[in-house]
Amino acid sequence: MKRILITGGAGFIGSHLCKQLLKEGNEVLCVDNYFTGSKENILELLDNPYFELIRRDVTEPFYAEVDEIYNLACPASPVHYQYNPIKTIKTSVMGAINMLGLAKRVKAKILQASTSEVYGDPAVHPQPESYWGNVNPIGTRSCYDEGKRCAETLFMDYHTQNGVAIKIARIFNTYGPHMNINDGRVVSNFIVQALQGEPLTIFGDGSQTRSFQYVDDLISGLTCLMSTNAEVTGPVNLGNPQECTMLQLAETIIDLTGSSSQVVFHPLPLDDPQQRRPDISIARELLQDWEPQIDLKQGLSHTIAYFEKQLSSK
């Protein structure tokens, strides 16, 4: 049994990771300040004697004896991370410093949940880990993009200077149960709008693309990456290379929900990427033949069922 710390453990991805690591027979310490996370996501875990929940902000130093750390704490949707951009970049940078300091002290292995946003609006497609990105350092998204880029730098410097065992995962668009109804990301927005019979809001002309992975596939990738030997530091792309346009996504969700909703178009936000698709060659090679298993329609069906239940309960 390992003792594993998960920052942001009550969030969308963190809650799924807590559940999986407990299922594998570990002791899990969940830390969250509930800015975007929720106790509802982890209610079923509270009676587990090997699960511990602590309300805390990662910008403050934290001390615990642990074997592994997954650093997931940070708002991930533009609506939330742009609400307080200074707090967002503090969470990424100071949170990384505090968790790396803890890992150094207790000799724990630590994984950074980075993001495909480090590639910005990419000029290379699909995006391999060797691509340095095309990021506006002073734009509306830079608090998140540059915060995550700085966190990657900190992780690599702690590794090279202090020998900390690190893993860096670059997570591409992920969806599934436990997303917040007011999450602000495209999948949750479209599903909620469709279920409520409202117009589906597309920013731009709908031709911009994303690649969506179901949360179970991501959790499998994260745990596989953490289990690799010390020479594997990353960054490693974790995403589904199946690409679709925003208009295709909207039409698929309308079809799966049986909604009568229409599609409406609004101006594209500043610095919004035109295309996003991961090159997962390194993940396939290093992570025990890891590859996403759940296709878009299957994953969306699970997610729609979750939101139907959430909306009916409210």
Residue 201 lies in a domain: no
Give the mean model confidence (pLDDT) for residues 220-249.
Answer: 96
Pairing between strand 213-214 and 174-175? parallel
Residue 274 in this model has a pLDDT that exceeds 90: no
Give CA–CA dist 6/105, Å, rounded.
17
Residue 249 lies in a domain: no
114-128 confidence digits (pLDDT tens): 999 999 999 999 999
Q: Confirm if 75 and 12 have CB atoms less than 8 A apart.
A: no
59-85 confidence digits (pLDDT tens): 999 999 999 999 999 998 888 888 899
Stretch among 69-83, 189-203, 294-308 having the lowest mean pLDDT? 69-83
Query: 252 pLDDT band (50/70/90 cuts)?
Result: very high
Pairing between strand 236-238 and 166-171? parallel
Residue 271 in this model has a pLDDT that exceeds 80: no
Please tell me the total count of domains within the chain. 1
Give the mean model confidence (pLDDT) for residues 183-210.
Answer: 94
Stretch among 82-86, 92-96, 130-134, 151-155 having the lowest mean pLDDT? 82-86
Residue 305 lies in a domain: no
Give pTM, 2 decimals.
Answer: 0.95
Give the mean model confidence (pLDDT) for residues 41-50.
Answer: 97
Residue 298 lies in a domain: no
Pairing between strand 51-55 and 68-71? unpaired
Residue 43 lies in a domain: yes
Residue 48 lies in a domain: yes
Residue 187 lies in a domain: no
Query: 131 pLDDT band (50/70/90 cuts)?
Result: very high
Residue 77 pLDDT: 80
Q: Which of 304, 311, 308, 37 is nearest to 187 (CA)?
A: 304
Residue 235 lies in a domain: yes
Give the mean model confidence (pLDDT) for residues 221-229.
Answer: 97
The residues that are catalytic are: 144
Pairing between strand 243-245 and 209-211? antiparallel
What is the span of the domain harbouring residue 223? 3-174+214-240+277-293
Give 110's strand partners: 69, 166
- The CATH number linked to 20 is 3.40.50.720
90-110 confidence digits (pLDDT tens): 999 999 999 999 999 999 999
